[in-house]
Amino acid sequence: MEPTPARNMAETPWQRFVRNFFGSRIATAGFVLLALIVLAAIFAPVISPQNPYDLAKLDVMDSRLEPGQASVDGSMTYLLGTDDQGRDMLSAILYGIRISVMVGVLSTVIALSLGLTLGLLAGYAGGRIEAFIMRVADIQLSFPPILIALILLALTGRGIDKIVIALVAVQWAYYARTTRSAALVERKKEYIEAATALGLSPLRIMFRHLLPNCLPPLIVVAALQVASAISLEATLSFLGLGLPITEPSLGLLIANGFQYLLSGKYWISVFPGIALLATVVTINLVADQLRDVLNPRLQTQ
Amino acid sequence: MDTTLTVNDLQTQFATRAGLVKAVDQVSFSVKRGEIMGLVGESGSGKSMTGYSIMGLIDAPGKIVAGEILLQGSDLRSLPAEAMRKIRGNRIAMIFQDPMMTLNPVLRIDTQMMEAVRAHQDVSRMVAREMSREALVRVGIPSPDERLQAYPHQFSGGMRQRVAIAIALLNQPDLIICDEPTTALDVTIQGQILYEMQKLCRESGTALIWITHDLSVVAGLADTVAVMYAGRIVESGTVQQVLEHPRHPYTHGLIASAPSRNPRGQPLQQIPGMTPSLLNLPEGCAFRTRCAHATVECAQTPQLREVEQRMLRCWHPLRDNVVEAVS
Amino acid sequence: MLAFIIRRILQSLVVLLVMSLLVFVGVHAIGNPVDVLISPDADQIERAKVIVAFGLDKPLWLQYFIFLKNAAGGDLGRSFAYSTPALALIFERMPATLELSSAAILLSVVLGLPLGLLAGLRPNGLVGKTIMAVSILGFSLPTFWVGLMLIMVFAVQLGWLPTSGRGETQMLFGVPVSFLSWDGLRHLLMPAFNLALFNIALVIRLTRSGAQEALMQDYVKFARAKGLRNSRIIGVHVLKNILIPIVTVVALQFGSIIAFSIVTETVFAWPGMGKLIIDSIRVLDRPVIVAYLLLIVTIFILINLVVDMLYSVLDPRVRLAESKG
């Protein structure tokens, strides 16, 4: 996907960015869908027909109803069916999206911040600190994410905070490495020397000067990592290692419905699956487009 | 047949985003059996593109839009792709400028030679190997058996180019197109290769098109010469006529600006101005903007006409200045 | 070269040791397996007996040293749940996992290479674009979900393939394998494909970009000038050039695939190491957890080491340049 040439010279960088980004129909569609998903996640409590965590409201008589069927007492129609507890699938999915997205975004943001800071520190401080941080990062990067998450969760058990920690542990090393490489390059440049000569504190130099140069590619990676984190969390929950049953993410919902797949009650698994799919794929689409647009090498004006 | 190749009014164009580039514009020439023709011009003059067009190696966004390429009478342009493939490397061979890049670094020499044979002749591997070995001997490569087992990066530049020549000769082509094959080599090696090419062509009757920017090479090697500028042929004829009595101002400028021609202590002669971009050619004669003899008439594109025993594209052919032959 | 190997082995041993410490301590910090092993209404005497039997009464550091001592002798403890040596238990399950992982690697190359070549040769055609779109899906879709969908479509709806489990096994060099029988292959197909999906996408992308780059090289132009068939140009000239980096990546991915087989084995009820570890985590079968983690770490270190050494051997330019001097 090539950026189109500028229409007029008076265009601001932001306008150019917007024009390039939405130049692809697929990316625009992805963006719209993603926006809808995010909105659904934020407003889940408002738009759900039912609160799926409120055990009192659930009626076990309503369990395993097919999509479109009405509840036993006729008070509501289950658009997407119910699960084995009588929970409305639509509501469960909306809340599930909420949790999945929240966990994904939160862990990525923390991992990014942590990795950035450590990477800047390593790049700027050098010496033993740098060696130590990089060694740890290298070792961790040579192991597959699922293994690391597995080990951590095996040791710590279930819970939202624990899974966020596991996801952060999986992601930080990459950001640290990238930031440190960029920092190494920048450190040798003259404007850093100038800043040091002016007596600016190392912290200020790190954040005000080094940071803005390293940011753009990291943003793209972070976007992709959100999708990857959501995917990983779903996998872990599916395996029974992630979130507790009281706060079901999409992964857990899918796991719940697994046993019913074979008997034809597909909706308990499939619908959360589609929601998961939509979330992950749209994030990937948008992030891919973001990368193409932000790539300086493709900026032929 | 006496004439191996005849090119009539060849037009190759590239449709780029910035505009239409006429890389080869109304190019016509012919090469006889056993004859060596030099195709001379600066970079961007279209000489390499002419070579690729003849080979049928022009890829999108380029396209041959008009003209005939007659190989011993039959028009190559009318051939389907598979038929053209059978001609490439078989009846017409090509040698490129950088031998480092043209040989595949991860394949052995014998592999790369034998496949050239077996693509066109139905022979066994043993026979193909023997033919390859003989070809290496013919181009003067010592210890051919060892060399066959080697990889390209184990050869020097000159040797690699000899291998490329050997490959070109394997199927005894009627025509070999050489695209600046000695530009990347040392002068002494260049001399050797030139001599050997000449010998081989005389012996086998193979026609040769030698593409170069170096006039001295042409003077020593070729029988005929065609000078290209901005995609067009501006002058062509026998080497003696064109180089000793150039009629086109550009040809004259080229000869005069050769460093060997200029006496010591004098500033080097140059052609004023720069080669125009092919996207931005002047109307009419492309050399107009740099020519000391240009007039209003030159805004019309001159056609290639026969003038004084050569083909010339100019409204104002030069008089016979006493121009010493390039040595 | 020898010094390099020795240095790397030493490094690996250190990592292994550190990992063993971390894992051991970590596993002992959580929960109390005694509660898992004994029914709630057992009395104190029963509990005491079990505690002693499993060595749970000793202080942590002592337990660790005993563990190390035993580990050096090949004994990594007995599984709480199965009462068999943990290592033996894992080894019993290993062939199934290796079979699945190998099949997945094979699939990723057999499917990924040709598709990637196709996409590289015609990047702007419908074929090329479709392949790339599919590869994006291969990256983004969560493996377990794809597995579920595969089961639903091919097993439940269409009934072509079995829903789960491993097929019948025969002995091959003393190791039970299932791919030698048709029934075994039917059981192997879906889980192997599921596991391979991410890698197929990876190989497609690598092959495609490698092919595109290779096609721009002069040696391809020269090969065409020689009048070679397209099939030979692609199949020999281009392929040999792009194969080396692809092989490296695929080899490195082997470890990742073994790790990820945990998910696939769970979805398809494949009786391998992965399923074992999940079950063990649930019941807090510490020896098995520790043994498994250490084994996986060792496998990883080994793979990294081997690939590092292989790379310098594979590329003839590197190899011969060193000898040429």
Segment C278-304 shows an average pLDDT of: 79
Q: Does B176 touch chain C (CB under 8 A)?
A: no
The C-alpha atoms of residue A158 and residue A249 are separated, in whole angstroms, by 13
Is A66 a residue whose pLDDT tops 50?
yes
In chain B, which residue's Cα lies nearest the Cα of C240?
B106
Task: Quote the tokens at residue A98.
Answer: 């909420």
Segment C178-206 shows an average pLDDT of: 86
The CATH classification number of A92-295 equals 1.10.3720.10
Contact residues, A window 74-103, toward C, CB-based 8 Å cutoff: none
* Nearest alpha-carbon partner for A89 in A276, A233, A267: A267
- pLDDT score for A284: 84
Q: Which sign, positive or negative, has the C-alpha torsion C47, C51, C54, C60?
A: positive
Task: Quote the tokens at residue C82.
Answer: 């199965």
Is A61 a residue whose pLDDT tops 70?
no
Q: Does C58 touch chain B (CB under 8 A)?
A: no
**Domain segments of chain B as ranges:** 3-91+173-312, 101-170
Touching A (3+ Cβ pairs <8 A), the chains are C
pLDDT band at A2 (very low <50, low <70, confident <90, very high): very low
Highest mean pLDDT among A59-73, C51-65, C121-135, C154-168: C121-135
Q: Does B83 touch chain C (CB under 8 A)?
A: no
How many contacts (CB atoms, under 8 Å) link B and C?
76
Residue pair B233/B302 in contact (Cβ under 8 Å)? The answer is no
Longest C-alpha distance within chain B, in Å?
A: 66
Is B224 a residue whose pLDDT tops 70?
yes
Q: Which residues contact A116 (CB under 8 A, 6 or more apart)?
A: A175, A176, A179, A211, A214, A218
- pLDDT score for C19: 75
Each residue of C127-184: pLDDT tens digit? 888 888 888 888 778 888 888 888 888 887 777 887 777 877 777 777 777 777 788 8
Contact across the interface for B119 and C227, Cβ inside 8 Å: yes
For chain C, which residues lie within 8 Å of any Cβ of chain A, measuring from their own Cβ?
A: 15, 23, 26-27, 29-31, 136-137, 139-145, 148-149, 151-152, 156, 163, 255-256, 259-260, 262-263, 266-267, 277-278, 281-282, 289, 293, 296-297, 300, 304
Q: Does C222 touch chain B (CB under 8 A)?
A: yes
Q: Contacts of residue C222 in chain B, CB cutoff 8 Å? A: 94, 96, 102-103, 164
Alpha carbons within 13 A on the beta-carbon side of A2: 7
The C-alpha atoms of residue C262 and residue A151 are separated, in whole angstroms, by 13
CB count in 10 Å sphere of residue A89: 26
Chain A closest CA to C171's CA: distance in Å?
30
Q: Contacts of residue A261 in chain C, CB cutoff 8 Å? A: 148, 151-152, 156
CA dihedral C192, C197, C203, C204 (to 10 degrees): 130
* Nearest alpha-carbon partner for A186 in A210, A166, A217, A220: A210
Is C241 a residue whose pLDDT tops 60?
yes
> What is residue B323's DSSP assignment?
-
Is C321 a residue whose pLDDT tops 50?
no
Interface test with A, best of C270, C281, C294 (most A CBs within 10 A): C281
How many contacts (CB atoms, under 8 Å) link A and C?
95
The C-alpha atoms of residue A210 and residue A180 are separated, in whole angstroms, by 10
Task: Quote the tokens at residue A89.
Answer: 């699938």
Contact across the interface for C317 and B104, Cβ inside 8 Å: no
Indicate the residue of B90, B153, B164 with minimum beta-carbon distance to C227. Answer: B90
Q: Contacts of residue A238 in chain C, CB cutoff 8 Å? A: 144, 263, 266
- pLDDT score for B322: 45
**Domain segments of chain A as ranges:** 92-295
Q: Does A10 touch chain C (CB under 8 A)?
A: no
| Mean pLDDT value across chain A | 77
Q: Which CATH number fits domain B3-91+173-312: 2.40.10.10, 3.40.50.300, 3.40.50.720, 3.30.450.20?
A: 3.40.50.300
Q: Which sign, positive or negative, has the C-alpha torsion B241, B247, B249, B250?
A: negative
Segment B19-37 shows an average pLDDT of: 89
pLDDT band at C252 (very low <50, low <70, confident <90, very high): confident
Q: Contacts of residue A231 in chain C, CB cutoff 8 Å? A: 140, 142
Each residue of B72-104: pLDDT tens digit? 888 988 889 889 999 998 899 999 888 777 888
Is B256 a residue whose pLDDT tops 60?
yes
In chain B, which residue's Cα lies nearest the Cα of C236?
B107
Indicate the residue of C226, C317, C320 with minimum beta-carbon distance to B116. Answer: C226
What ranges make up the beta strands (E) of chain C? 170-172, 175-177
Check residues C32 and C265 and name the one with the higher pLDDT.
C265
Longest C-alpha distance within chain C, in Å?
A: 88
Q: Does C130 touch chain B (CB under 8 A)?
A: no
Q: Is the ipTM beyond the 0.90 threshold?
A: no
Residue pair B261/B299 in contact (Cβ under 8 Å)? The answer is no
Residue pair A134/A194 in contact (Cβ under 8 Å)? The answer is no
What ranges make up the beta strands (E) of chain B? 3-16, 19-32, 36-40, 62-71, 74-75, 92-95, 175-179, 207-212, 224-229, 232-238, 305-307, 310-312
- pLDDT score for B130: 92
Indicate the residue of B94, B101, B151 with minimum beta-carbon distance to C225. Answer: B94
Each residue of A208-249: pLDDT tens digit? 766 676 677 788 888 888 888 888 888 888 888 877 777 778
Q: Contacts of residue B163 in chain C, CB cutoff 8 Å? A: none
Measured CA angle at C283 (ends C279, C289), to 5 deg = 65
Q: Does A2 touch chain C (CB under 8 A)?
A: no
Q: Which residues contact B273 (CB under 8 A, 6 or more apart)?
A: B289, B290
Segment A106-128 shows an average pLDDT of: 85
